[in-house]
Amino acid sequence: MTQQQYQQCIDACLECMNACNVCYISSLKEYDLAMLRDCIRMNRECADICAFAAQAMTRGSDFIGEICELCVKACEACAAECGRHAHDHCQACAEACRRCAEACRLMSAVA
């Protein structure tokens, strides 16, 4: 695993974390908050897990593979939930989650 590959995965995690945070804040401002309840919950969970994965890779943790596997699961779940909503912030979040899941999938396979 090269430093560039680590950095690409870290960047994907941080981009996803940011997209989840934007979606979270934007969802709280929407009219039909009840419809977005699961989306808001998943945004927070996914953002936290992405931040943790980025930190673990930065530290060179012995558990990168397992942490990235968890990040894949969180990102896939968040992408599925956000993908159900037509809001631009939800669609952007879903796309960032898909990219992060792919990067973490590759990382977990080689870590």
pLDDT single digits (tens) 57-110: 999 999 999 999 999 999 999 999 999 999 999 999 999 999 999 999 999 998
User: Which residues have a Cβ under 8 Å from the Cβ of 63 and sit 6 or more positions away?
Assistant: 56
Residue with tokens 């037509």: 86
Residue 81 structure tokens: 């939930």
First to last CA, the chain: 7
Domain hosting residue 60, numbered range:
3-109
pLDDT of 1 higher than 70: no
104: CATH: 1.20.1270.360
Residue with tokens 């870290």: 10
Q: CA nearest 57: which of 45, 48, 66, 46?
A: 66
pLDDT in the model for residue 32: 87
CA distance 5 to 59: 15
Count up the domains in the chain and report the number: 1
Q: CA nearest 101: which of 67, 66, 82, 73?
A: 73
